[in-house]
Amino acid sequence: MTQPLDHIRVLDMSRILAGPWCGQTFADLGAEVIKIERPGVGDDTRGWGPPFMKDKDGVETEDAAYFLAANRGKKSVTVDITKPGGQDLIRRLASECDVLLENYKVGGLKKYGLDYDSLSKVNPRLVYCSITGFGQTGPYSPRAGYDFLIQAMGGLMSVTGEKEDMPGGGPQKIGVALSDILTGLYTTIGALSALAYRDKTGRGQHVDMALLDVTIASTANQAMNYLVTGKAPTMMGNAHPNIVPYEAYKAADHYIILATGNDGQYQRFCDVAGRPDLATDERFATNRNRVGNRDVLGPILNEIIAAKPRSFWLEELEKVGVPCGPINNLEQVFDDVHVQARGARQEVEHPVGGAIPTVANPIRLSESPIEYDRPPPVLGQHTDDVLSDVLSLDPAEIAALRDKGAI
């Protein structure tokens, strides 16, 4: 089946998560993604376990679940870029690729002649994507940047967590490396935009992506709340700064999420709760007033919701179109009938692990659906094939490179 990006070849020199997430998105959409890894070592995340993938006999392998999460559909080619022979291979591969992904420190690839200025001379049509913590410019640009650090510096942790004066209060990071994931997605958008520009002009360009920039941009309404008022938002636990009621509540047996996005939904909630007076009370009749009186309304709602079990709220609020749901762990997520109907869990055939699970890409295309037929690669699995097919090297030339430690 024809795939949207099956005419695109990507050279993925990135490691860990942000860059690989972008590369995996390209691969899911049909691009040929060549992942460059260190000989004998590979991407750092291959060792970020447990848990590790098991082989067909149930024995643990060297590949962690973390690596499997971000490298589906790629071809693994081992290259030692510190060796002249390895540098030459990268230059030759770059000349045959549309997109290059890298997440080395600023200037880290220049000493090898593999920076944008150098490779754009080899291939002026190349879209060269650099992912760093702080970007290619600015006083922090030389610093290393990791997701946890960036969540803190980008303001995300300042609005995540329970209020400091509450038990367990204080800043919290998100439970997944969200700054990395979002940077990978924004990089995909940036690369596709640069490819569209190339279609018009014939010229590639340098795409400069910073985890800090992405994290700040992703604070969205919280950032605008500050810019409009001059007052920095603070941690509010599960409460929403601009909507009430919109948070977690303890029912008689389990927690629920109640998310009333407008006054009509709030009114219908009040009817189900047997308290229509709360919808006509001037203090709570509009969202604006509810936000201003959240400290009064909150304890009332806590008492009301705690009086009935979760099943009551989920069933009755669903009937009247009020957004409400359970707080699921990941086992419950993948057991959910809707999640199963949407195909969130897929399987892909791995040369070592056999049929292994993978989390589906959330993009659903009607004419060119994503196919799960290319597993995460074994280290160096495609080295000989890529060097032969893309660079037309013969077996003797490949063997010579291996003898020199270049691959």
> Whole domain around residue 199: which residue ranges?
9-218+342-403
Residue 2 counted as domain residue: no
Residue 50 counted as domain residue: yes
Residues 157 and 197 in one domain: yes
At residue 94, what is the residue type? A
Residue 296 counted as domain residue: yes
Residue 364 counted as domain residue: yes
**In tens digits, what is the pLDDT along the chain, a chain of 407 residues?**
899 999 999 999 999 999 999 999 999 999 999 999 999 999 999 999 999 999 999 999 999 999 999 999 999 999 999 999 999 999 999 999 999 999 999 999 999 999 999 999 999 999 999 999 999 999 999 999 999 999 999 999 999 999 988 888 999 999 999 999 999 999 999 999 999 999 999 999 999 999 999 999 999 999 999 999 999 999 999 999 999 999 999 999 999 999 999 999 999 999 999 999 999 999 999 999 999 999 999 999 999 999 999 999 999 999 999 999 999 999 999 999 999 999 999 999 999 999 999 999 999 999 999 999 999 999 999 999 999 999 999 999 999 999 999 99
Residues 6+ apart with CB under 8 A from 352: 53, 55, 56, 61, 63, 378
Residues 304 and 377 in one domain: no
Pairing relationship of beta strands 60-64 and 354-359 according to DSSP bridges? unpaired
Residues 63 and 150 in one domain: yes
Q: Known catalytic residue: 213?
A: no
As given in the structure block, the two tokens for residue 91 are 């230059």
Residues 209 and 252 in one domain: no
Residues 107 and 159 in one domain: yes
As given in the structure block, the two tokens for residue 134 are 């702080």
The pTM of the full predicted model, rounded to 2 decimals, is 0.95
Kindly report the CATH number assigned to the domain that includes residue 166.
3.40.50.10540
As given in the structure block, the two tokens for residue 265 are 């939904």
Looking at 326, 359, 389, the residue that finishes a domain is 326
**Of the listed 28, 63, 115, 180, which one is catalytic?**
180
Residue 385 counted as domain residue: yes
Q: Is 257 within 8 Å of 325 (Cβ atoms)?
A: yes
Residue 114 counted as domain residue: yes
Q: Is 326 within 8 Å of 332 (Cβ atoms)?
A: yes
What φ, ψ does residue 217 adopt, rounded to 5°? -60, -35
As given in the structure block, the two tokens for residue 385 are 């094939």
Kindly report the CATH number assigned to the domain that includes residue 308.
3.30.1540.10
Residues 211 and 352 in one domain: yes
Residue 291 counted as domain residue: yes
Strand order in the sheet with 9-12: 74-78, 32-37, 9-12, 99-102, 127-132, 205-210
Residues 109 and 71 in one domain: yes
Residues 100 and 160 in one domain: yes
How far is residue 2's CA from residue 187's CA, in Å, rounded to a whole number?
A: 24
Secondary structure of residue 117 in the 3-state scheme: helix
Label residue 22 left, alpha or beta by phi (over 0 means left) and psi (-120 to 50 means alpha). alpha
Question: Structurally, how many domains does the chain consist of?
Answer: 2
CB atoms within 10 A of CB 107: 11
Residues 213 and 281 in one domain: no
